[in-house]
Amino acid sequence: MEIKFFDDPFESPKSREEVRLKQLGLFVYEDKRRVAVGFDLTPFLERPSLEVTITNGNGEWASSLNVIETMETNFSLTMHLRDKEPTERYAVTAVVYYDHPEQPERQVIHTLHTDFLLIPGDQTKEGGKLNSSPK
């Protein structure tokens, strides 16, 4: 019996320097105050952390979350937009990083940034088609 640990046998787990967000899925709920954010990471050897921030069209903070040492390569979480005055456009920034208690600064591996409209429905963004930059 063959045991498969990864969905794609051709994609082996990557070292921390090679971990990337392949895709960022965005789904705006009907109430326009919640956004489901889906993450698709490359397979990894060491568990990465993520920091996600959403800002409104005025550049003001609307929501944020931290995922500490995820065990999954593909998952989603719902973020609540808490800005006082909703705008039509928003921006989401997702940062993949590693932290170590013996190091004073975290190691930023990859940053993915994109704009989205506050229109209910799916707004999935491919990692290669965005303002995607390894750090």
- Domain extents in the chain: 16-134
Instruction: Give me the tens of pLDDT residue by residue for the chain, a chain 135 residues long.
Output: 554 455 565 679 999 999 999 999 999 999 999 999 999 999 999 999 999 999 999 999 999 999 999 999 999 999 999 999 999 999 999 999 999 888 889 999 999 999 999 999 998 766 533 333 334
* Buried-state track 43-81, b at ≥16 Cβ within 10 A, e below 16: ebeeebbbbbbbbbbeeeebbeeebeebeebeeeeebeb
Fold of 16-134: Immunoglobulin-like (2.60.40)
Look at residue 70 in the predicted model and tell me its pLDDT: 97
CA nearest to 134, candidates 119, 104, 103, 113: 113
Q: What is the pTM of this model?
A: 0.84
Look at residue 124 in the predicted model and tell me its pLDDT: 76
